[in-house]
Amino acid sequence: MAGEKPKGEFISMALGESRGCALRTNETIVCWGQDNFSLPEWMKETYFITIEAKRDVFCGVQKSTSSLYCWGNEIFNSNLPVFEEKLSGPCRGDCPDGI
| pLDDT one-digit tens code per residue, 31-90 | 999 888 888 888 899 999 999 999 889 999 999 888 888 898 766 555 555 555 554 555
- Write down the pTM of the prediction: 0.74
| Residue 3 is assigned to a structural domain of this protein | no
Q: d(Cα 25, Cα 17) in Å, to the nearest integer?
A: 24
| Residue 76 is assigned to a structural domain of this protein | no
Which residues lie across from 68 on neighbouring strands?
Answer: 61, 83
Q: What share of the chain has pLDDT > 90, as a percent?
A: 39
- What's the total number of domains in the chain? 1
- SS percent in the chain: helix, strand, coil, step 5: 5, 35, 60
Query: Could you report the per-residue pLDDT of 22-43, keeping only the tens digit for each?
Result: 999 999 999 999 888 888 888 8
Instruction: State the residue range of the domain holding 23.
Output: 10-71
